[in-house]
C-alpha cells in the first residue's frame, strides 16, 4: 500500500470507509454485549459527536494555549468527584481510557513510595485474581511485582484475609474492583480500605466500569455497597466515561484523595533542547475531541437523563439475569451487582464457547471468558440501556442457541486436538508449528474462522503463559503493512 498519487474525492473516501465498516460489529441496535455501550439516545450522541469535531484539532498538551480544554477537564473532574464521594481536596485527570487511568494510578503509587517509603526498592502491587488485566499491564510497564490473591469461589469477591496475607514490606499499592469486569461484583472495599489504612498502603479502586453507574443503581434502590472516595483508606479511584457515561471512546478519569498524592502522577522534562514538557497524563499531544465530547454528552443527558438510562439498564439486567438463570443447564456466576453478567453451561468449556458461535449466527455478540483463577469457562454480557428494547428477542435466541449446542454432538477432531493441547508446550513452539496448530482450528493466513469455538477451546485448554504466547504470535501476524485479508480492499 502506498499513498494515492493524487487526493481522492470525498465520495470515494466515504464509499470506501462505509464499505469497510460493513463487516464490523454494529454499534447501535443492541447486538453487542461487549465493547459497545449504547444508550439508544441518538440526539445526545449527535451532540457529543459535533463537540468532538469542534475540538479535534485542539491540543491539551498546553493548557495555556487552550484554556477551554483546561476548563472542560476541570469541570468534568469536578462532576466525577461529586459523583464518587470526593471532597474539596479531590484532584484528578482526564485520560484516554481505563488502561491509562490504571497505569497512572500504579505510577503514582510507585513514585509516592519512592519519596515516602524510600526503603522499598522492589515495589509490589497486591491484586485479587479478578482485578482487570490492565493492572497487570501497568505493573508490567512500570516494573512492579504483582502478587495475586484468592477470591471467594461463590461470590467472586476479593478475600480480605488473602489480601492481608499477601502484604509484605514491599507492598506499595492494593487494588480492588467496583465492579469487577468478569463477574460484575463489588469487592469488600470498606474492609480493604481499613486494612490499607492500618498498614499505610495506598488503595486504588478500579471503578472503570462501575463508577458511573453504581451511584445511579443505588438511587434506584439496588443494594450497592460503599466503594468510592468516601470510604476511609481509598486513595484513588478510576472511572471510564466511555463506558456507562456513554461518551465517545477515549474518555476516562483518575481521581486522587488530594493534590499531594496526584503530584506523583505528573512528569516534567527540561533536559532536552526543545520546548519544556510537563504532562499530567501519559499522552503529551492530547486531542481536545474526547474531552469536549465527554463534556457535551454529560451536559446533553444531565443527571435526570443518566438516571433514566440507569433505570432502563437495571430493568434490562434483571430481565436478562432471570431469563438466563431459567435456561436448562445454565448457571449465573455469583450475584451480579450491576449490569455485567457471567454465565456458564453444563458440558465443559467447548460447549460453553459453542454457545457464543450459535449466538453470533443469530446476530449477537456475547463475550467468551476462558477458565482460570477460580472461574470456569463462561460467557460475559455487558448490558446497557439500549438493550432494554431487545431483551425478549435476545433471550429467545439464547434459549435456541443453548438448545442447539446441547443437542449437537461434540466435534471429534476438536476433542482430540484439545487433548493434545493439554500436553503441548506452546511457549516453545516454532512459528511454523504454531501456524499448523492454528490451521487445525480454522485460522489461516491471519484470517479468523466464522466459528470461533475451536480456537477459543484450544486457548481455554492451555495454561495462561501458553495462551499469552499464542495470542502474541497471532496478533503479531495479524497487523501487517502488506494489507489485511480480513477486510475488503480499499484500493479500487
Ligand atoms: C474496561 C475496564 C478497564 C480497562 O479500560 P479500557 O478503557 O478498556 O482501557 C479496566 N478496569 C475495568 C474494571 C474495566 O471494566
177 in ligand 1 pocket by Cβ < 6 Å?
yes
Cα–Cα distances (Å) from 440 to 5, 266, 353, 414, 450, in that order, read 42, 49, 17, 8, 14
Cα 422 to the center of its chain, rounded Å: 29
> Which one, of 107, 100, 109, lies nearest residue 134 by Cα?
100
pLDDT tens for 19-49 read 999 999 999 999 999 999 999 999 999 999 9
pLDDT at 325: 97
Say how many Å lie between the CA of residue 134 and the centre of ligand 1.
Answer: 7
With a pLDDT cut of 90, the percent of the chain lying above it is 84
pLDDT at 483: 58
Q: Which of 81-85, 211-215, 432-436, 474-478 shows the lowest mean pLDDT across its residues?
A: 432-436
pLDDT at 418: 78
pLDDT at 474: 86
Q: What's the rounded mean pLDDT across residues 47-71?
A: 97
- Residue of 158, 189, 208, 290 best suited for mutating to test ligand 1, as the one with most atoms within 8 Å of CB: 208
99 in ligand 1 pocket by Cβ < 6 Å?
yes
pLDDT at 492: 37
Which three cell numbers mark 419?
Answer: 487433548
| 3-state class (DSSP) for residue 131 | coil
Provide the mean pLDDT of the chain. 94
101 in ligand 1 pocket by Cβ < 6 Å?
no
- Residue of 106, 205, 209 best suited for mutating to test ligand 1, as the one with most atoms within 8 Å of CB: 209
Confidence of residue 470 (pLDDT cuts 50, 70, 90): confident
240 in ligand 1 pocket by Cβ < 6 Å?
yes
96 in ligand 1 pocket by Cβ < 6 Å?
no
Cα–Cα distances (Å) from 347 to 154, 324, 353, 405, 407, in that order, read 20, 16, 10, 9, 11
- CA-nearest residue, atom 12 of ligand 1: 208
- Residue of 240, 248, 254, 282 best suited for mutating to test ligand 1, as the one with most atoms within 8 Å of CB: 240
Q: Which residues pair with 206 in a beta bridge?
A: 177, 238
- From the CA of 177, give the closest atom in ligand 1: 13
DSSP string, 426-474: GGG--HHHHHHHHHHTT-BTTBPPS--HHHHHHHHHS-HHHHHHHHHHH
- CA-nearest residue, atom 3 of ligand 1: 98
Q: What's the rounded mean pLDDT across residues 86-99?
A: 98
Strands (E), 1-98: 91-95
181 in ligand 1 pocket by Cβ < 6 Å?
yes
Please identify which residue in the block is written with the cell numbers 477432531: 413
Three-state SS string across 387-411, please? Answer: HHHHHHHHHHHHHHHHHHHHHCCCC
Say how many Å lie between the CA of residue 168 and the centre of ligand 1.
Answer: 27
pLDDT tens for 273-296 read 999 999 999 999 999 999 999 999
- Alpha-carbon span 331 to 325, nearest angstrom: 6
With a pLDDT cut of 70, the percent of the chain lying above it is 97
132 in ligand 1 pocket by Cβ < 6 Å?
yes
Amino acid at each position: 500500500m502506498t499513498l494515492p498519487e493524487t487526493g481522492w474525492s470525498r465520495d470515494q473516501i466515504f464509499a470506501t470507509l462505509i464499505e469497510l465498516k460493513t463487516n464490523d460489529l454494529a454499534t447501535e441496535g443492541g447486538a453487542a454485549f461487549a465493547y459497545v455501550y449504547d444508550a439508544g439516545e441518538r440526539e445526545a450522541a449527535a451532540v457529543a459527536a459535533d463537540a468532538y469535531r469542534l475540538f479535534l484539532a485542539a491540543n491539551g498538551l498546553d493548557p495555556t494555549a487552550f484554556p477551554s480544554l483546561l476548563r472542560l477537564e476541570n469541570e468534568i473532574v469536578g462532576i466525577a468527584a461529586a459523583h464518587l464521594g470526593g471532597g474539596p481536596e479531590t484532584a484528578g485527570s482526564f485520560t484516554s481510557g481505563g488502561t491509562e487511568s490504571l497505569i497512572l494510578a500504579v505510577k503514582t503509587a510507585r513514585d509516592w513510595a519512592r519519596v515516602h517509603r524510600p526503603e522499598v526498592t522492589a515495589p509490589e502491587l497486591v491484586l485479587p485474581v479478578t482485578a482487570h488485566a490492565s493492572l497487570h499491564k501497568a505493573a508490567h510497564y512500570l516494573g512492579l511485582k504483582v502478587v495475586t490473591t484468592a477470591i471467594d469461589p461463590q461470590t467472586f469477591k476479593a478475600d480480605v484475609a488473602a489480601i492481608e496475607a499477601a502484604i509484605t514490606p514491599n507492598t506499595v499499592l492494593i487494588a480492588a474492583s467496583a465492579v469487577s469486569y468478569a463477574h460484575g461484583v463489588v469487592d469488600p472495599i470498606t474492609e480493604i480500605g481499613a486494612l490499607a489504612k492500618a498498614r499505610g498502603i495506598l488503595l486504588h479502586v478500579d471503578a472503570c466500569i462501575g463508577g458511573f453507574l453504581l451511584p445511579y443503581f443505588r438511587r434506584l434502590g439496588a443494594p450497592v455497597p460503599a466503594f468510592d472516595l468516601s470510604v476511609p483508606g481509598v486513595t484513588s479511584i478510576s472511572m471510564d466515561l466511555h463506558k456507562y457515561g456513554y461518551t465517545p471512546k477515549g474518555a476516562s478519569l483518575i481521581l486522587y484523595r488530594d493534590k499531594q498524592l496526584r503530584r506523583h502522577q505528573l512528569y516534567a522534562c527540561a533536559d532536552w533542547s526543545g520546548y519544556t514538557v510537563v504532562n499530567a497524563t501519559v499522552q503529551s499531544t492530547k486531542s481536545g475531541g474526547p474531552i469536549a465530547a465527554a463534556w457535551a454528552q454529560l451536559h446533553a443527558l444531565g443527571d435526570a437523563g443518566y438516571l433514566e438510562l440507569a433505570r432502563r439498564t437495571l430493568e434490562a439486567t434483571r430481565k436478562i439475569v432471570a431469563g438466563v438463570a431459567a435456561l436448562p443447564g445454565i448457571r449465573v456466576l455469583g450475584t451480579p451487582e450491576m449490569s455485567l453478567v457471567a454465565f456458564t453451561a453444563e458440558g465443559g468449556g467447548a460447549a460453553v464457547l459453542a454457545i457464543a458461535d450459535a449466538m453470533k449466527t443469530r446476530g449477537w455478540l456475547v463475550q467468551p471468558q476462558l477458565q482460570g483463577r477460580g472461574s470456569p469457562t463462561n460467557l460475559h454480557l455487558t448490558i446497557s440501556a439500549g438493550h432494554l428494547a431487545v431483551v425478549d428477542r435476545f433471550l429467545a435466541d439464547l434459549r435456541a442457541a443453548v438448545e442447539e449446542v446441547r443437542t449437537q454432538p461434540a466435534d471429534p477432531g476438536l476433542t482430540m486436538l484439545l487433548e493434545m493441547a493439554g500436553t503441548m508446550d506452546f511457549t516453545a513452539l516454532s512459528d511454523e508449528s504454531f501456524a499448523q496448530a492454528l490451521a487445525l482450528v480454522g485460522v489461516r493466513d491471519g484470517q479468523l474462522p466464522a466459528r470461533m469455538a475451536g480456537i477459543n477451546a484450544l486457548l481455554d485448554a492451555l495454561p495462561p503463559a501458553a495462551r499469552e504466547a499464542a495470542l502474541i504470535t497471532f496478533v503479531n501476524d495479524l497487523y501487517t503493512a502488506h494489507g489485511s485479508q480480513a477486510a475488503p480492499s480499499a484500493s479500487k
